Amino acid sequence: MSDNHGNTPAAWTFVTVAMLGFVVGGVGMLLSPVNWTIFWVGVALALASLVIFAVMAKLGYHESSSTH
């Protein structure tokens, strides 16, 4: 494994947006009655995090900034 495993802007953005999606979806499930609209917004955010990661990786934000 590299020394910077997961420490890139693309990785941090992916994790942040995915976590936000899970929190939003969880809140939707906790409401009584269950708010399916909020739940599906959370699912969409979690899926969007994958797209955001792929785009950022293609733009070079998933590469090491240090040279060895």
Q: Is residue 14 part of a domain?
A: yes
- Structural domain range at position 24: 9-58
Calpha distance 52→11 (Å, rounded): 10
4: in domain: no
State how far the Cα of 42 lies from the Cα of 65, in Å rounded to an integer: 32
Instruction: State the chain's mean pLDDT as an integer.
Output: 90
* Predicted confidence (pLDDT) per residue in 11-40, tens digit: 999 999 999 999 999 999 999 999 999 999
Residue 3 domain-assigned? no
Structural domain includes residue 40: yes
Closest CA to 35 of 46, 24, 44, 21: 24
Total domain count, the chain: 1
Residue 66 belongs to some domain of the structure:
no
Kindly state whether residue 23 falls inside one of the protein's structural domains.
yes
What is the 3-state composition of the chain as percent helix, strand, coil, each rounded to the nearest 5?
Answer: 65, 0, 35
pTM reported for the whole predicted model: 0.83
